[in-house]
Amino acid sequence: MEKINIPKKEDISNIDNSRRFESVREEVFDYQLQYVEKLYSGEFKQKIEKDKDIGDLVMDFSYLKRVIYDECLKRIPNFEKMKKDKIDQIIGYTTGVISRQINDSYLKDKKQWKYNIKEISLENLNKIGPEINKLPEKSGPSAGLIHFNVKGYEELEKFGISDMDDCLEIHFEELYKQKEKDSNLKSIFSGDSLSILASKIVDEYPQVKAITANSWLVDSPIGKRIGFIVSGRKEQVSGNEGFWGQFIDENE
């Protein structure tokens, strides 16, 4: 099987963390599009639905769909006061139009189509209007580097935990953002995050029956070191930005 070509990296050692991340993010998007091309051509032995065109696959296997969602929210007036189904209708329509135009671009020119995606997306997003909103910041309690929320899980019944029991779901903000606040951070084990979380559970959330995470990290050496057990796997994850994030390290 032919490998996905990896573009030559530029020297970005002197770029600040946020700009470096955006540069890498664009590079990863190129990998995603290469993956989509090879998937669509049948080069990868992965089953896809027969009626899927390449625009559909871009939405399924890259993080463009998530980017479109966020960019729509920036442009929809008073979206905080709108009903969710109305917001979903606007975003769904815009996503569908962009998907169809990406497919048309591919059929027209299979060498140039990737370079047209940004223009196609911006043109349709700007039809909603200019950027007038800031995206809602993730809120909720935290313990050092670890953010968390308390919720129930149906899929943990095999461990004796019902959907009526409270579980504490943890997630991590991107390390580059954390390092902008504290340059001494090296990894998620830096500082006292885990011990702070343990103390919070004992003092503030004693009813919690399990600590959960929805991440590839659960099945990694880091997850095993923390003590996670894999409770299930998702079949379709490559459209999630977190999936592609596993191929990025601190220096890339």
Q: How confident is the model at residue 21 (pLDDT cuts 50, 70, 90)?
A: low
- Tell me the per-residue pLDDT of 146-203, one tens digit each, with 9 for 90 and over: 788 888 877 788 888 888 899 988 877 666 566 666 666 666 555 677 888 889 999 9
The DSSP call for residue 235 is S
Do 119 and 147 fall within a single domain? no
Among residues 103, 190, 248, the alpha carbon closest in space to that of 95 is found at: 103
Do 150 and 106 fall within a single domain? no
**Residue ending a domain, choose from 101, 128, 155:** 128
What contacts 8, CB < 8 A, 6 or more positions away? none
**Residue ending a domain, choose from 96, 128, 160:** 128
Residue type, 115: Y
CB 103 within 8 A of CB 54: yes
Do 39 and 68 fall within a single domain? yes
**Residue ending a domain, choose from 83, 102, 128:** 128
Do 22 and 45 fall within a single domain? yes
Q: Is residue 237 part of a domain?
A: yes
- Tell me the per-residue pLDDT of 78-94, one tens digit each, with 9 for 90 and over: 998 899 999 999 999 99
Q: Is residue 136 part of a domain?
A: no
Q: Is residue 135 part of a domain?
A: no
Strand pairing class (210-212; 146-151): unpaired
pTM assigned to the model: 0.67
Q: Is residue 9 part of a domain?
A: no
Do 179 and 220 fall within a single domain? yes
Do 181 and 150 fall within a single domain? yes
CA distance 91 to 56: 15
Structure tokens that stand for 82 in this block: 């709108």
Strand pairing class (146-151; 142-143): antiparallel
Which segment, 62-76, 203-217, 235-249, is predicted with the most confidence on average?
62-76
Check the CA dihedral 114-119-122-125 and report its sign.
negative
User: What's the confidence (pLDDT) of residue 211?
Assistant: 87
CA distance 103 to 96: 11
Helix (H) or strand (E) holding 142: strand 142-143
Q: How confident is the model at residue 15 (pLDDT cuts 50, 70, 90)?
A: very low
Do 30 and 124 fall within a single domain? yes
Do 115 and 149 fall within a single domain? no
Do 27 and 106 fall within a single domain? yes
Do 24 and 86 fall within a single domain? yes
Q: Is residue 250 part of a domain?
A: no
Q: Is residue 2 part of a domain?
A: no
Q: Is residue 134 part of a domain?
A: no
State residue 38 phi and psi, 5-degree precision: -70, -35
CB 238 within 8 A of CB 244: yes
Q: Which domain holds residue 166?
A: 142-245
Report the DSSP beta bridge partners of residue 143.
Answer: 146
Do 152 and 215 fall within a single domain? yes
- Tell me the per-residue pLDDT of 92-147, one tens digit each, with 9 for 90 and over: 999 999 999 999 999 999 999 999 999 999 999 999 999 999 887 666 787 777 78
Do 66 and 162 fall within a single domain? no
**Block residue for tokens 């929320």:** 149
The mean of the pLDDT values for the chain is: 80
